[in-house]
Amino acid sequence: MRRTLIALLAVSVVLVLSASATAKNNTLSLTGTYGSTIFGLEYETRFGNFGIGLDTGFLLGAHPAATPFAMRINGLLRYYFNLSPMFKPYINLAPGVWMVFPVTPEALPVVSYFDMHATAGLEFTPGNFRIAAEAGYEFFVLPSTAAGVAGWFFFKGAVGYRF
């Protein structure tokens, strides 16, 4: 009886782990960007060729006592093209908010405004690892300026784990 229970437990563990190992619909990545922020963390889940997720980016000034802390939070809306099992080009639209927290809140208020980047990228997935690079344009809607909309070139690299 004891051997039977151990065998059933071993079979069930193998079945559960193999099912979760083949799914690979979730990704957690460390990111580095050129644009509004320096480094960040990204989570994505996939439904077929579509991916949705959350991307956070942080900018820490060189002098923490004098420069502000900036943060970006964007949603991810991606579409992947199935050209190869390991190399997948994709397009990405990421609406969100960009916030600047001044060192002395009494001197300046917290600044926040709409931020979005539209990019095209390429993903390389050897096994459970993910390496990606994307480039495009990031723009901001600044209500306090006469121009209203500003933007610049955006580049992001990511290294992550698929589970």
Tell me the per-residue pLDDT of 35-62, one tens digit each, with 9 for 90 and over: 767 899 999 999 999 999 999 998 876 5
- Does this model's pTM top 0.85? My answer is no
Task: Tell me what percent of the residues of the chain surpass a pLDDT of 90.
Answer: 50
| Residue 139, H or E segment | strand 129-141
- What is the per-residue pLDDT across 153-163, written as a single tens digit (0 to 9) for each? 999 999 999 99
Q: Which of 21-35, 38-52, 56-70, 99-113 comes out lowest in average pLDDT?
A: 56-70
Place of tokens 């320096």: 38
Domains and CATH numbers, the chain: 26-162 (2.40.160.20)
User: Which token pair is 103?
Assistant: 């060192």
**CA atoms within 13 A of residue 158's CA, in its CB half-sphere:** 27
